[in-house]
Amino acid sequence: MITLIENGTLVTNLETFQADILIEGEIISQIGKDLQHPNANIVDATGKFIMPGGVDPHVHLDLPMFDTVSSDDHYTGHKAAAFGGTTTVMDFVVLDDKGFDYSVDVWMKKAEKAAIDYSFHMNLTNFNDKIAKDIPSLMKMGIQTLKVFTAYNGRLRIDDGSIFKALRIAKENGMLMMAHCENGDVIETLVTDALMAGHTTPEYHAFTRPAWGAVEATLRMAAMAEQADSPVYVVHMNAGGEVDMLKYAREHGVKVMGETCPQYLFFTIDQLRQPDGAKWVCSPPMRTKEDNARLWEGLSDGILQTIGTDHCPFFMDGTKPIVYEGSDVFIAGKELGKDDFTKIPNGLPGIQDRMPILWTYGVGVGRITANQFVAYMSTNPAKIFGLYPRKGALAVGSDADIVIWDPAKKMKHGVAHSHQRTDYNLYEGWDLTGYPEKVFLRGKLIVDGEEWKGSRGDGKFLKRSTGEIL
């Protein structure tokens, strides 16, 4: 297949310019003005922006949790991502006692239905001499990232000494440590106190996970990274103080990078106080308007490096089905915690919403530029996670993952336009200006307006190498 996209305005992380793009097979073969090819299928992009496909570095698909499972799998979640302009996602492998090979194989089988390109991070939720010895084997599998937790005591957390040892192993092997930063000890105490006092409503999910724990843990991870001389990437930054710690650490030469998510830019603990507060339960929780504002400053000023979604959706009411691709789907959801906030599945939908929401309420109102948008949504994660310039770039030789963006398209967002397999949308009724018109995955048109042209199995697993430190 040969496709020529004409008359568009290309937007990269660094510049905006007029050019045509010629796609031959799966790659971009030429970029320039007045391109021609006798056998090309012509796509007129007059008045449209052309951007690299989005790279979402943080999703959880088909993830078991609290006697249920996240409601999007590696087909439905990928399909939703594509409709929002994202063509590459990175999921997290759950570490099984049987080791890395077995754990990765489980996730590979889950992803056989992949509709867009994908890669994996490895959750490092246990640590011993054998695991330490086996960590370098992940690089041979094309996985260059480990994720650790400073919360979830007795479940996901490993102690700081083990984290430090893992950081040194990561450095020796050109790998990157990712970190979920909260104070697990404080959380365990506050949760116990809340339940003993009879506080079971959703806002107590936030009250028992205070922002200071995230701030302290972020600086602690940065300090360990500096002492190990190894880079660290802090996921889902949600508190303004975390931006302050990131800025401080980077100014002092620490190789630390930060990600935030759309939900932490727009919502607060007030959402958890509503009758449908369970909708907004995720970990870490929503904070305050002041935190929203400081996170926006972190993006505007270039302190943060990426915007992921932490997409991990659940039904609000799993006792009722939704219709997905013509079939009824029942999946237990947030009703599991109707009488106890600790039993509400933690997670939100957002894989399709990320780019349209951030375009309207980021670029559209002047909080970030169009070039910053491309950097945060695509180029920076591709560089950090060892995929650039194959992904995240509009360049000759890059994969033809391309979004034709209509900056004038107006719509009212919500479940009616969402392909996320759940029964609600966080941004229900929000007015949008700007939305993907066409989305190409390695040269194949997979989204054409409201029409899905992709299919199960279209996605490829991406082996990654050592990434860049931004």
- For the record, the structure tokens of 189 come out as 């105490």
- Predicted pLDDT at 355: 98
- Predicted pLDDT at 106: 98
Domain assignment present for 458 = no
The one-letter code for the residue type at 462 is L
Task: Answer yes or no: are the C-beta atoms of 352 and 80 closer than 8 Å.
Answer: yes
On whether both 184 and 310 belong to a single domain, the answer is yes
- Please state, as a whole number, how many other Cβ atoms lie within 10 Å of the Cβ of residue 31: 18
Q: What is the CATH number of the domain that holds 428?
A: 2.30.40.10
Domain assignment present for 469 = no
On whether both 358 and 422 belong to a single domain, the answer is no
- Please state, as a whole number, how many other Cβ atoms lie within 10 Å of the Cβ of residue 349: 29
On whether both 177 and 216 belong to a single domain, the answer is yes
pLDDT tens, residue by residue, 331-385: 999 999 999 999 999 999 999 999 999 999 999 999 999 999 999 999 999 999 9
Whole-angstrom distance, CA of residue 319 vs CA of residue 239: 34
Final residue of a domain: which of 365, 384, 403? 384
On whether both 66 and 35 belong to a single domain, the answer is no
Final residue of a domain: which of 384, 414, 437? 384
- Predicted pLDDT at 75: 98
- Predicted pLDDT at 181: 98
Give 177's strand partners: 146, 232
- Predicted pLDDT at 320: 95
pTM assigned to the model = 0.97
Whole-angstrom distance, CA of residue 345 vs CA of residue 63: 11
On whether both 286 and 415 belong to a single domain, the answer is no
Domain assignment present for 404 = yes
Give the helix ranges, DSSP H, for 153-307.
Answer: 160-172, 184-196, 203-207, 211-228, 240-251, 263-266, 269-272, 289-300
Domain assignment present for 258 = yes
On whether both 28 and 89 belong to a single domain, the answer is no
- Predicted pLDDT at 386: 98
On whether both 314 and 240 belong to a single domain, the answer is yes
Tell which residue, 337, 211, 373, has the closest CA to residue 285: 211
- Predicted pLDDT at 18: 98
- Predicted pLDDT at 66: 92
Domain assignment present for 275 = yes
On whether both 219 and 245 belong to a single domain, the answer is yes
- Residue 343, Cβ density class (10 Å: 0-12 exposed, 13-18 middle, ≥19 buried): middle
- For the record, the structure tokens of 432 come out as 């949008």
On whether both 292 and 396 belong to a single domain, the answer is no
For 248, residues 6+ apart whose C-beta sits below 8 A from its C-beta are: 219
Distance of CA 276 to the CA centre of its chain: 24
Whole-angstrom distance, CA of residue 443 vs CA of residue 399: 8
Whole-angstrom distance, CA of residue 39 vs CA of residue 37: 6
* Domain of residue 423, residue span: 2-51+392-452
Domain assignment present for 82 = yes
Task: Answer yes or no: are the C-beta atoms of 386 and 466 closer than 8 Å.
Answer: yes
Domain assignment present for 44 = yes
pLDDT along the chain (470 residues), means of 10: 97 98 98 96 98 98 96 98 98 97 98 98 98 98 98 96 98 98 98 98 98 98 98 98 98 98 98 96 98 98 98 97 95 96 97 98 98 98 98 98 98 96 98 98 98 98 97
On whether both 39 and 145 belong to a single domain, the answer is no
- Predicted pLDDT at 422: 97
pLDDT tens, residue by residue, 276-334: 999 999 999 999 999 999 999 999 999 999 999 999 999 999 999 999 999 999 999 99
Number of folded domains that form the chain: 2
On whether both 42 and 65 belong to a single domain, the answer is no
Task: Answer yes or no: are the C-beta atoms of 212 and 260 closer than 8 Å.
Answer: no
- CA Rg value for the chain: 21
Q: What is the CATH number of the domain that holds 167?
A: 3.20.20.140
The one-letter code for the residue type at 119 is S
Final residue of a domain: which of 384, 410, 425? 384
Domain assignment present for 357 = yes
Write the DSSP assignment of 194-230 as a string of letters. Answer: HHHTT--STHHHHHTS-HHHHHHHHHHHHHHHHHHT-
On whether both 84 and 127 belong to a single domain, the answer is yes
16-24 and 2-11 beta bridge pairing = antiparallel
